[in-house]
Amino acid sequence: MNLLQSASNYIDRITGSLPANGVHGTSTVGINKNKIKVLLLDKDTTSIVSMITTQSHLLSNAIYLIDTITNTTRTKMRHLSCVVFIRPTPDSIQALVEELRNPLYGSYELYFTNIIKKSSLERIAESDDHEAVTKVQEVFADYLCVNPDLFEVGLAKPNIFGSMPDSWTAEALNRSTETLTAVLLALKQKPLIRYDANSLLSKKLANEVSYRVRQDPSLYDFRRPDTPPVLLILDRKNDPITPLLLPWTYQAMVHELLGITNNRVNLSVIPDVRPELQEIVLSGTQGDNFFQKSMYLNFGDLGATIKEYVDQYQTKTKNNTNIESIDDMKRFVEDYPEFRKLAGNVSKHVTLVSELSRLVEAEGLLAVSELEQSLACNDSHNQDLKQIQIILQSPNISFDSKVRLVALYGLRYEKNANFSLPALLDLLDHQQPHPYGYNGVNAIKSLLSYAGAQKRDEGIFGGEGFFSRAQSGFKGLKGVENVYTQHTTLLSKTLSSLLRGKMKDASYPIFDDGVRPKLVETPAYGVDTNERPQNVIVFIVGGVTYEEARVVAEINAGTPGISIVLGSTKIINSYDFIKNLNDISHKGLIKGQPLTRLTFHTNNSSRAAEEIK
Amino acid sequence: MSEITCPICNESMVTLLQLNRHLDDAHSEIKFVNNEDTASWFSKQVAKSRAKQLQSVTSVFTQAFGKLDLLDGSDTDGSSTSLSHGPASATKRGSPVPILTDENVTRKHWQKLSPNQRCAEVLCEKPLSARNGCINCRKCGKLFCHKHTMYRMKLTKNAMHDPTNGTWCRVCETCYKSRPGYNDHKGVVIDLTQDFRRMRQPHIDQQELNANRLEKRLVKLISSLSSEISKDPGSVWPLNRLRQKYAIDKEIVKWQADGEVTDCPECHNHFNFTLRKHHCRVCGKVVCGNLNSDCSRDVEINILAAKLDIKGPDVMPVTPISTRICKSCKNTVLSRRNFLHDKTAPLPPLLKKYEQLCHLRMVIESTMPKFQETLEILQDAQGQHTDQQATADATKIRKKLLNTCAQFDSISRSLSNLTLNIENERRLQQNIFLAAVHFLQINMLPLRALPKLLKSAKKLKTGPNKSSQQEAVEFKNFVLPTSRLTDTEIADLRQQLIVMEEQKFLVSGMVEGATQRRKYNEIPPLESSLRELDKEIDRIRCDLGTDAFEN
């Protein structure tokens, strides 16, 4: 399963670089190839296309104009042919209908990213008075392909929670279902759906996906695999820890500290940044070989790798600087485009990495991370509390880090006898000022009611049970390899039990669609929960981190014959996570029991509590 | 991604090994003959090593999974990872299907172990030993190391892949990856074109019917009006004539009664003293005559006649006669015609230039492989006796290519120099130019590789090359004969000139770039090379004299 290849295959089909199977002779393909095409996109498909292809690729397929379908300032050019690639949303359909009533281009090929309603298709057909449409197809590239094994839904609004934190907004649910079914169709998988038993969100999504699959059985009639693929729908609330921990691998760090949106990183916040580097493209799918090699390296290894890269660049520069004869000159000119590309890439990554290390230094992230890991992995309440208090009072630690630490403390020691979150919240509340317009105290409270101990499955912390305590004792003896990366995500445990065929039916039930034959009748195809799956699609409701993407990539690389694809409603960092929780608390969605255990000292926080109630 | 395809049946393959095997399986007439003796010996060997193998498999699997859960390492359960796990669990649940295990799958085809056996994976070729592992792929039977047999798939008794009734077996990477459907990256595509056409057809038919009806009326209207004029071209529709015109108009179509309508059907404005009622002469409906909303309009009949490709009035009256036509009639009758007309209209200059470019590009693309071929021949013959014909061919093709490239370049430049007023067209122009430059960059590079080869080849050459001179006449368009220099020399010099000028252009671009980026230390060397280039260009121009390119 490769999301990238499937998606770029679709794009090739759209751009016409993929010859139709035997229908046309080669000569017609040659002529079509040269015909100038206009590509019309909508808001959603623009990001889909930009994630997987480059402008030069489009140019080489004679697509010389790219525009949005809603743009009304386009002019009539009826000698050109047009390729329309849109999501079948009401807005886009309306725009298309208007376009076809008065066609600006000579002919149209229509591609939809998902199944289009029959009534919409009729509307379009009725508006096509000029018989300008030559082709109508549904292609299922309805997902944002971030890495070959990572996709994102690409919701317009980050909030997925409806009236309650365990219900969806209609839009988010619909969009997620559409994306998931598109992924299934793009990868040609008809899966067994498993979901988090304690999460209504994932059960609802499982239901929707299963319903869509049942609706159109002929569409999902693929070659029978050895073992049915598994679609595992998880809920973020069962692992609130991972988004709160500071990651130390390249892609994840860039997202955590600078933020990646649709493969773009905004660097204009860096002081003295060169103008061409204010916004850079950081893509795990196209072009940038260095990034593809180093995106999962940890920060230490990254330093060494980037040094090598710079050295390689410098030897090339040296070769290029001593130009003495015409021959040298010629060689230089030949190598120049390649060289300039390299130079651009080197300066991009050097800027990025130096900014990362500046942030690590300036915000004392090493100390923060060490404490975070200790909170997540060890059981030493008093020591941790003391450390947090020290850090809360230190001025050069960022507000975000402090909120993260308190949040981790709240999750970790909720059941501890000496649980003293109110005191910490009080300390946090005195922090000046709240720079990003969110209230840390509120966010932490809603975090505890969203993903507190009562709401989630147990077992995300090491050292909760008796055996694991003994285990951590052993680990203590052995010593830890790297203090900053001790924590293992819940996802890696879940996946390993799934891949070994040992996943518990009770915690991850199979969605019963009432259609699939029971095990007893046909064992080879029936639902054998202990059979080890070879293809797995994981979808995490409520956001996924790049750290988890790394885990999946590692499993894919390290276990032959197993292919896992990870997806989510959004790729989040700790800021997104906390901000989102804060938004929930503003909406007054969460009325949690943990709040009754808290006592408030300041006016501020009691007012906040009233707001919440 | 480079793909390997079978030379016989064009099936695409992932690895060389797979191709190898495919050739053996599908395209060989020789049947696999099994030797009884070896088989029995083999099964004994297998029986002996079996226990050991299974153990090692288990340990490898544990290792592999151990990697993915660092915290949870203690509870890895060896037995559950054993290979016969799938069917075993099926038995537990009392399945009626006969149980197949790994052992039931045939082993007749297994490759026997010979000393110095290496892993059958082409890129691996590790010596097989206890440490590296020595395992038969259950499907193809070849011997592999541990690493390349970490895959499982379901096989039947005959070691054929069968997802329904097979049992889990250990197979090699190639068998796993070449299983049908594994390399299928073409996602589902649903073609709705037929449905769409079907939905569109009744609508189009209706539309055409309507259009034809209206068109006929319009034609009739125009012809009767024009015949009326031809009777008396001089007059300016006096009052009684005006009444006559109304009569003609009303004859064509029954007019809608004024009282029936209170709002204009097009712009939905209420008729009142300022917004007067008018009648469309084609459909007879009441519309307003507001010129801003363009609901209806008085159009001169000879304009309409021209649009409809019919004969207008022969004689023009002093005052042009016009007739009122409403927006919807205009659309039904004319917009389809306009659309087809626009589509077939002569190309604007930008697109004309682009077509020339495309043509040249096709020429370059088709000659390029030929050039590569001759280049390879030359390279093979390097150092030995060089085939004069080959050299001549290469020079010829290269010259042709360079000329085409130069043409391509000049056209793309002139394309970029066109002045366009519309923003969209400007963007189009920019993008075409960008693509053209990119194309040139890719295709000019291999052309530069030739002079070096030619130089070494020329040393071996004796006497002037007559044939190439004759060939050069073919390119008369580009090469004009002069007294001083032979055609080939001129062509060579011109090529040099092109290369030099291009370099000069690039270098001056770099100087500008460096100044902009304030990297002054880079400028002096660049400028010195610029001077050197200028000198060289001057020299060549001098040699060429009047034959130098105009640009």
Residue pair A129/B207 in contact by the 8 Å Cβ criterion: yes
What pLDDT, on the 0 to 100 scale, is given for residue B58? 41
Residues contacting B76, CB < 8 A, separation 6+: A500, B62, B65, B66
Q: Is residue A604 part of a domain?
A: no
Whether residues A109 and A20 share a domain: the answer is yes
DSSP symbol at B331: I
Of residues A442, A538, A566, the one with CA closest to residue A144: A566
* Residue B451 at interface with chain A, using a CB cutoff of 8 Å: no
Residue pair A449/A414 in contact by the 8 Å Cβ criterion: no
Q: Which amino acid is at B22?
A: H
Cα separation, B541 vs B494, in Å, equals: 9
Residue pair A185/B186 in contact by the 8 Å Cβ criterion: no
What is the domain-level CATH number for residue A307? 3.90.830.10
Q: Is A134 helix (H, G, I), strand (E, B) or coil?
A: strand
Nearest CA in chain B to A550: B68
Angle between helices A326-362 and B423-448 (to 10 degrees): 120
Cα separation, B347 vs A355, in Å, equals: 52
- Residue A413's CB is within 10 A of a number of other CB atoms, namely 19
Instruction: Measure A330 CA to nearest chain B CA, in Å.
Output: 8
Residues contacting A5, CB < 8 A, separation 6+: A148, B185
How many helices, marked H, and strands, marked E, lie in chain A?
A: 22, 14
For chain A positions 35-54, those within 8 Å of chain B (CB to CB) are 36
Alpha carbon of residue B288 to chain centroid: 51
For chain B positions 156-175, those within 8 Å of chain A (CB to CB) are 163-166, 168, 173
Tokens of residue A292, six digits: 């593809």
What is the residue-wise DSSP string for A558-573? HSTT-EEEEEES-B--
Residues of chain B with C-beta less than 8 angstroms from the C-beta of A79: 342-343, 345, 347-348, 351
What is the residue-wise DSSP string for B295-306? SEEEEEHHHHHH
Q: Where are the beta strands (DSSP E) in A251-305?
A: 260-261, 264-266, 279-281
- Residue A468's CB is within 10 A of a number of other CB atoms, namely 18
pLDDT at A106 over 50: yes
Angle between helices B523-544 and A326-362 (to 10 degrees): 160
Whether residues A375 and A270 share a domain: the answer is no
Q: B interface mutation test: which of A64, A97, A332, A493 has the most B CBs within 10 A?
A: A64
pLDDT at A589 over 70: no
For chain B positions 419-438, those within 8 Å of chain A (CB to CB) are 422-425, 427-428, 431-432, 434-435, 438
Residue pair B308/B226 in contact by the 8 Å Cβ criterion: no
Instruction: Measure A512 CA to nearest chain B CA, in Å.
Output: 19
What is the domain-level CATH number for residue A547? 3.40.50.1910
% of chain A residues with pLDDT over 70 = 81
What is the domain-level CATH number for residue A28? 3.40.50.2060
Among A588-592, A596-600, B276-280, name the one with the lowest average pLDDT.
Answer: A596-600
pLDDT at A220 over 80: yes
Domain count, chain A: 4
Element (H, E) at A535: strand A535-541
HSE toward the beta carbon, residue A366, CA cutoff 13 A: 8
Residues contacting B336, CB < 8 A, separation 6+: A129, A130, B211
Domain layout of chain B by residue ranges: 32-70+77-177, 193-344, 347-468, 479-551
| Mean pLDDT calculated for residue range A381-395 | 84
Cα separation, B345 vs B161, in Å, equals: 59
Angle between helices B239-252 and B193-231 (to 10 degrees): 150
What pLDDT, on the 0 to 100 scale, is given for residue B237? 58
Of A362, A395, A429, at which residue does a domain stop? A362
pLDDT at A85 over 90: yes
Cα separation, A384 vs A390, in Å, equals: 10
Cα separation, B350 vs B415, in Å, equals: 6
* Residue B3 at interface with chain A, using a CB cutoff of 8 Å: no
pLDDT at A263 over 60: yes
| 10-residue mean pLDDT series, chain B (551 residues) | 63 71 63 46 52 44 40 34 36 39 71 75 74 78 79 80 78 80 78 89 88 84 76 60 73 78 80 81 81 78 75 60 80 80 80 83 81 74 62 77 83 82 81 83 67 53 40 36 51 75 79 74 77 79 57 36
Residues of chain A with C-beta less than 8 angstroms from the C-beta of B207: 129
What pLDDT, on the 0 to 100 scale, is given for residue B490? 67
Q: Which domain holds residue A257?
A: 250-362
Residues of chain B with C-beta less than 8 angstroms from the C-beta of A103: 339
Instruction: Measure A80 CA to nearest chain B CA, in Å.
Output: 9
How many helices, marked H, and strands, marked E, lie in chain B?
A: 16, 11
**Could you tell me whether strands B286-288 and A37-41 are parallel, antiparallel, or unpaired per DSSP bridges?**
unpaired
Instruction: Quickly state the pLDDT bin for A308 (edges 50, 70, 90).
Output: confident
Choice between A596 and B264, residue whose per-residue pLDDT is larger? B264
Whether residues A151 and A222 share a domain: the answer is yes
Cα separation, B229 vs B231, in Å, equals: 5
Ramachandran region, residue B337 (left: φ > 0; alpha: ψ -120 to 50; beta: rest): alpha
What pLDDT, on the 0 to 100 scale, is given for residue A27? 40
Instruction: Quickly state the pLDDT bin for A594 (edges 50, 70, 90).
Output: very low
ipTM exceeds 0.90, yes or no: no
Residues of chain B with C-beta less than 8 angstroms from the C-beta of A110: 196
What pLDDT, on the 0 to 100 scale, is given for residue B480? 34
Of residues B439, B450, B448, B417, the one with CA closest to residue B362: B439
Q: Is residue A321 part of a domain?
A: yes
Whether residues A430 and A552 share a domain: the answer is no
Q: Is residue A524 part of a domain?
A: yes
Q: B interface mutation test: which of A27, A530, A552, A556 has the most B CBs within 10 A?
A: A530
Q: Where are the beta strands (DSSP E) in B130-229?
A: 135-136, 143-144, 151-155, 167-171, 189-191
Residue pair B50/B82 in contact by the 8 Å Cβ criterion: no
Residues of chain B with C-beta less than 8 angstroms from the C-beta of A337: 441
Whether residues A349 and A256 share a domain: the answer is yes
Cα separation, A381 vs B511, in Å, equals: 64
Residues of chain A with C-beta less than 8 angstroms from the C-beta of B153: 226
Please name every residue paired with A568 in a beta bridge, in sequence order, or none if there are none: A152, A540
Cα separation, B224 vs B245, in Å, equals: 10
Q: Which residue among B203, B354, B529 sits closest to A323, beta carbon to beta carbon?
A: B529
Residue pair A141/A182 in contact by the 8 Å Cβ criterion: yes
For chain A positions 544-603, those within 8 Å of chain B (CB to CB) are 551, 554-555, 558-561
Choice between A119 and A468, residue whose per-residue pLDDT is larger? A119
Of residues A305, A304, A253, the one with CA closest to residue A282: A253
CB within 8 Å: B68 and A559: yes
Tokens of residue B223, six digits: 């012809």
Residue pair A524/A226 in contact by the 8 Å Cβ criterion: no
CATH of the domain spanning B32-70+77-177: 3.30.40.10
Tokens of residue B469, six digits: 């001179």
Residues of chain B with C-beta less than 8 angstroms from the C-beta of A131: 200, 204
pLDDT at A605 over 50: no
Choice between A180 and B349, residue whose per-residue pLDDT is larger? A180
Residue A510 sits at φ, ψ, to 5 deg, of -85, 135
Whether residues A441 and A369 share a domain: the answer is yes
Q: Which residue among A56, A330, A559 sits closest to B64, beta carbon to beta carbon?
A: A559
Instruction: Measure A39 CA to nearest chain B CA, in Å.
Output: 12
Of A445, A478, A511, at which residue does a domain stop? A478
| Mean pLDDT calculated for residue range A459-478 | 51
For chain B positions 192-211, those within 8 Å of chain A (CB to CB) are 192-193, 195-196, 199-200, 203-204, 207
Residue B446 sits at φ, ψ, to 5 deg, of -65, -25
Mean of per-residue pLDDT scores for chain A: 78
Instruction: Quickly state the pLDDT bin for A282 (edges 50, 70, 90).
Output: confident
Nearest CA in chain B to A491: B69
Q: Is residue A55 part of a domain?
A: yes
The residue with tokens 């073992």 is A227
Q: Is residue A533 part of a domain?
A: yes
HSE toward the beta carbon, residue B262, CA cutoff 13 A: 0
For chain A positions 459-518, those within 8 Å of chain B (CB to CB) are 462, 468, 471, 488, 492-493, 495-496, 499-502
Residue pair A160/A569 in contact by the 8 Å Cβ criterion: yes
CB within 8 Å: A64 and B432: yes
Nearest CA in chain B to A329: B529
Q: Is A550 helix (H, G, I), strand (E, B) or coil?
A: helix
String of b and e for B241-273 (b: at least 16 CB within 10 Å)? eeeebeebbeebbebbeeeeeeebbbeeeebee
Of A123, A141, A159, at which residue does a domain stop? A141
Q: Is residue A589 part of a domain?
A: no
Tokens of residue A436, six digits: 């990003």
Residues of chain B with C-beta less than 8 angstroms from the C-beta of A459: none
Q: Which residue among B64, B97, B428 sits closest to A64, beta carbon to beta carbon?
A: B428
CATH of the domain spanning B347-468: 1.20.58
Cα separation, B347 vs A490, in Å, equals: 63
Residues of chain B with C-beta less than 8 angstroms from the C-beta of A60: 435, 438
* Residue A126 at interface with chain B, using a CB cutoff of 8 Å: yes
Cα separation, A566 vs A538, in Å, equals: 5
Cα separation, A75 vs A105, in Å, equals: 9
Residues of chain B with C-beta less than 8 angstroms from the C-beta of A136: 191-193, 195-196
Of residues A158, A345, A115, the one with CA closest to residue A261: A158
Whether residues A267 and A223 share a domain: the answer is no
| Mean pLDDT calculated for residue range A577-591 | 68
Q: How far is CA B255 from CA A268, A284, B286, B287, B449, in A?
A: 68, 68, 8, 11, 80
Q: What pLDDT digit, counting tens, does each position of B110-160 carry?
A: 777 777 777 777 777 777 777 777 778 888 878 888 777 778 888 877 777
- Residue B358's CB is within 10 A of a number of other CB atoms, namely 17
Residues of chain A with C-beta less than 8 angstroms from the C-beta of B184: 188
What pLDDT, on the 0 to 100 scale, is given for residue A528? 55
Whether residues A270 and A170 share a domain: the answer is no
Give the 3-state secondary structure of B17-55: HHHHHHHHHHCCCCCCCCCHHHHHHHHHHHHHHHHHHHH
Q: Which CATH superfamily is domain B193-344 in?
A: Zinc/RING finger domain, C3HC4 (zinc finger) (3.30.40.10)
Whether residues A301 and A415 share a domain: the answer is no
Residues of chain B with C-beta less than 8 angstroms from the C-beta of A5: 185
Whether residues A321 and A345 share a domain: the answer is yes
Residues of chain B with C-beta less than 8 angstroms from the C-beta of A75: 422-425
Instruction: Quickly state the pLDDT bin for A112 (edges 50, 70, 90).
Output: very high
Among A172-181, A439-448, A593-602, B197-206, name the one with the lowest average pLDDT.
Answer: A593-602
Tokens of residue A379, six digits: 């059981």
* Residue A137 at interface with chain B, using a CB cutoff of 8 Å: yes
- Residue A430's CB is within 10 A of a number of other CB atoms, namely 11
Residue A150 sits at φ, ψ, to 5 deg, of -140, 125
CB within 8 Å: A121 and B196: yes
Among A8-12, A417-421, B513-517, name the one with the lowest average pLDDT.
Answer: B513-517
Nearest CA in chain A to B346: A79
pLDDT at A480 over 70: no
Whether residues A471 and A403 share a domain: the answer is yes
**Could you tell me whether strands B151-155 and A77-86 are parallel, antiparallel, or unpaired per DSSP bridges?**
unpaired
Instruction: Quickly state the pLDDT bin for A177 (edges 50, 70, 90).
Output: very high
Length of chain B in residues, anyone? 551
Whether residues A327 and A442 share a domain: the answer is no
Residue pair B164/A224 in contact by the 8 Å Cβ criterion: yes
Domains B32-70+77-177 and B193-344 share a fold: yes
CB within 8 Å: B184 and A188: yes
CB within 8 Å: A561 and B207: no
Residue pair A103/A124 in contact by the 8 Å Cβ criterion: no
